[in-house]
């Protein structure tokens, strides 16, 4: 029972990071209106941005997080200009293929620069564990790392909500995500707003990226494709454009993954993940959301 609860906690923490990824992904799809294949690489750049902060400045989490957000944000500008802006009115498969190309580009460039080895990411957060008793004989372990991660994700999510609801840019973003033409007619610079939305989504991905590296105590260039899939899956669970539902999707995936780790081996996890995604797309493409956010 204790083991189960501990796995649940692990799942919540990992799910929180996944939720962050999913939110970022949904922002991009919602505002830009196009689906991307290159989200994994965006997260990777953010993670590496923060990693190099650790290398050159030392262990400074706030600066590193800022660097992660900024690196992915800047990469988002490039992605936007290369893969989205030109193709707003073109058949969808063209921007899709463009993002596939971009993903290949970034992945291999980083592999050239960074090398294929997995490098350690240690001592970012003190390795302290709190044991919290729940009732008579049961207690759960909560690592400081997990607490930090969960608080961070909640703070970011709340900030984003405030941004979308209280600021002019945020409301413009929501307008563009609902109806580009109407937003244009209202005097909103659609192109710049879409780019902003894309970059914010990318930034969130970058933060998620470094959090993953910290959580797994390592960073490499090869694992990001899998995370891209997970971000997509979580977002699909949320109907692709609903942020809260996507976050919920991320949480679910994190929990299911950690609970399922005990049942099957790592390789089959992917089979189940894909199989589950396929089944879900067939039976209920809108996921948790109540209506179809069919942008594709």
- Positions in the binding site for other proteins (CB under 8 A): 35, 37, 82-83, 86-87, 89-98, 100-105, 107-109, 111-112, 225, 232, 236, 267-268, 270-271, 274-275, 277-278, 281-282, 285, 296
Of 1 and 282, CB closest to other proteins: 282
Residue 127 phi/psi, 5-degree rounding, is -85, 60
Distance from C-alpha of 165 to C-alpha of 45, rounded to nearest angstrom: 29
Judged on CB neighbours under 10 Å (0-12, 13-18, 19+), 119 is middle
Q: What's the closest the beta carbon of residue 101 comes to other proteins, in angstroms? A: 3
Of 157 and 195, CB closest to other proteins: 195
> Within the chain, what is the greatest distance between any pair of CA atoms?
64
Q: Strands of the chain (E only): list them.
A: 119-120, 129-134, 138-143, 218-219
- Cα distances (Å, whole numbers) of residue 124 to 57, 60, 145: 12, 8, 9
- Cα distances (Å, whole numbers) of residue 37 to 29, 33, 42, 236, 265: 11, 13, 10, 14, 27
Of 91 and 135, CB closest to other proteins: 91
Q: What's the closest the beta carbon of residue 95 comes to other proteins, in angstroms? A: 8
Of 109 and 122, CB closest to other proteins: 109
Residue with tokens 């620069």: 113
- Sign of dihedral through CA atoms 280, 227, 28, 94? negative
Of 104 and 151, CB closest to other proteins: 104
Of 41 and 68, CB closest to other proteins: 41
Of 127 and 264, CB closest to other proteins: 264
Q: Strands of 90-137 (E only): list them.
A: 119-120, 129-134
Query: 3-state DSSP call for residue 139?
Result: strand
Distance from C-alpha of 63 to C-alpha of 69, rounded to nearest angstrom: 10
Q: What's the closest the beta carbon of residue 39 comes to other proteins, in angstroms? A: 12
Q: What's the closest the beta carbon of residue 225 comes to other proteins, in angstroms? A: 7
What are the residues whose beta carbons fall under 8 Å from the beta carbon of 147, sequence distance 6 or more? 130
Q: What's the closest the beta carbon of residue 2 comes to other proteins, in angstroms? A: 32
Q: What's the closest the beta carbon of residue 191 comes to other proteins, in angstroms? A: 17
Of 83 and 241, CB closest to other proteins: 83
- Any idea what DSSP says for residue 86? G
Q: What's the closest the beta carbon of residue 98 comes to other proteins, in angstroms? A: 4
Q: What's the closest the beta carbon of residue 257 comes to other proteins, in angstroms? A: 16
């Amino acid at each position: 029972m204790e083991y189960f609860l501990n796995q649940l906690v692990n799942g919540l923490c990992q799910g929180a990071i996944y939720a962050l990824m999913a939110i970022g992904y949904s922002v991009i799809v919602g505002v830009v209106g196009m689906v991307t294949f290159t989200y994994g690489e965006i997260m990777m750049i953010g993670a590496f941005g923060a990693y190099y902060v650790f290398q050159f400045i030392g262990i400074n989490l706030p600066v590193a997080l800022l660097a992660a957000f900024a690196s992915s944000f800047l990469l988002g500008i490039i992605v936007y200009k290369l893969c989205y802006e030109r193709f707003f009115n073109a058949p969808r498969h063209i921007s899709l293929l463009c993002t596939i190309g971009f993903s290949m580009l970034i992945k291999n460039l980083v592999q050239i620069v960074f090398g294929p080895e997995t490098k350690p990411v240690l001592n970012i957060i003190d390795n302290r564990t709190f044991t919290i008793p729940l009732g008579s004989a049961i207690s759960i372990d909560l690592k400081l790392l997990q607490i930090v991660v969960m608080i961070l994700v909640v703070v970011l999510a709340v900030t984003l909500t405030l941004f979308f609801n209280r600021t002019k840019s945020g409301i413009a973003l929501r307008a563009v995500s609902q109806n580009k033409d109407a937003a244009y007619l209202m005097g909103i610079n659609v192109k710049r707003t879409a780019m902003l939305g894309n970059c914010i989504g990318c930034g969130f991905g970058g933060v998620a990226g470094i959090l993953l590296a910290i959580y797994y105590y390592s960073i490499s260039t090869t694992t990001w494709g899998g995370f891209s899939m997970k971000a997509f899956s979580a977002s699909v669970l949320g109907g692709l454009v609903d942020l809260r539902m996507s976050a919920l999707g991320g949480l679910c995936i994190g929990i299911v993954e950690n609970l399922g780790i005990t049942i099957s081996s790592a390789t089959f996890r992917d089979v189940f993940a894909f199989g589950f995604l396929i089944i879900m797309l067939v039976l209920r493409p809108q996921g948790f959301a109540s209506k179809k956010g069919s942008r594709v």
